[in-house]
Amino acid sequence: MSNTVLHATDADFDSQVLASDQPVLVDFWAPWCGPCKMIAPSLDQLAVEYAGKARIVKVDVDQNQQTAMKYHVRSIPMLLVFKNGQVQNTHIGAVGKAQLAQLIDKAL
């Protein structure tokens, strides 16, 4: 099990996220998005802290527009928590590490 943030694409989103046996926090982001860059260090820390319990996956909306459209991503960062292939929680906008951890904890 990797303890780093994973990157999913349109091609492997289903296998990386929907088929995961652990809750997955998905960060829909883009390289040009300032708030996305602000929360990246927190996501990196959470990936280590939740290793073996939950996964952190980033999806670049510019490169993976099919997945972004499927989940109606209109503003970023948009964070979705998946469990058993279903969306459990949604949050739009940059938040602190504690709020990100709460999103994950709700799905555990």
To which H or E segment does residue 56 belong? strand 55-60
Burial 52-89 (b: 16+ CB within 10 A, else e): eebbbbbbbbeebeebbeebebeebbbbbbbbeeeebb
Nearest Cα to 101, choosing from 29, 25, 17?
A: 25
- Residue 36 catalytic? yes
Instruction: Give the active site residue among 5, 8, 17, 36.
Output: 36
Instruction: Give the active site residue among 5, 24, 26, 33.
Output: 33
Catalytic (active-site) positions: 33, 36
